[in-house]
């Protein structure tokens, strides 16, 4: 599992995570309340490939994930 987290007000929030668990590789996009907003299937990848994709995605796109999460957080209020 590869997670993208943010720390706000001394709390850790999960923005997204690549996971395989008991299933095939997938990306969970998480809402500020922790619920799954969207699941993106990566079953075409082996687990090792999915880890590389996850690291590259989060390294290159973390700002996008953060801005979207913050937008959802504002909409919630």
- Residue 10: predicted pLDDT: 94
Q: Show me where the domains of the chain are located.
A: 2-76
Q: Which two tokens stand for residue 14?
A: 């999960």
Provide the b/e sequence for 22-55 (b: ≥16 CB within 10 Å).
eeebbbbbbebeeeeeeeeebeebeeeebbebbe
Point out which residues pair with 18 in neighbouring strands: 2, 27
pTM (two decimals): 0.89
Q: What is the pLDDT of residues 4-14, one digit of tens each?
A: 999 999 999 99
pLDDT tens-digit profile of 39-71?
Answer: 999 999 999 999 999 999 999 999 999 999 999
pLDDT range class, residue 21, cuts 50, 70, 90: confident
């Amino acid at each position: 599992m590869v997670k993208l987290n943010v720390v706000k007000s001394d709390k850790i929030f999960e923005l997204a995570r690549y996971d395989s668990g008991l299933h095939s590789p997938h990306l969970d996009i998480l809402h500020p309340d922790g619920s799954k907003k969207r699941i993106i299937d990566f079953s075409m990848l082996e687990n090792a490939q999915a880890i590389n994709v996850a690291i590259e995605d989060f390294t290159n796109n973390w700002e996008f994930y953060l801005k979207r999460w913050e937008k959802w957080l504002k909409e919630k209020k």
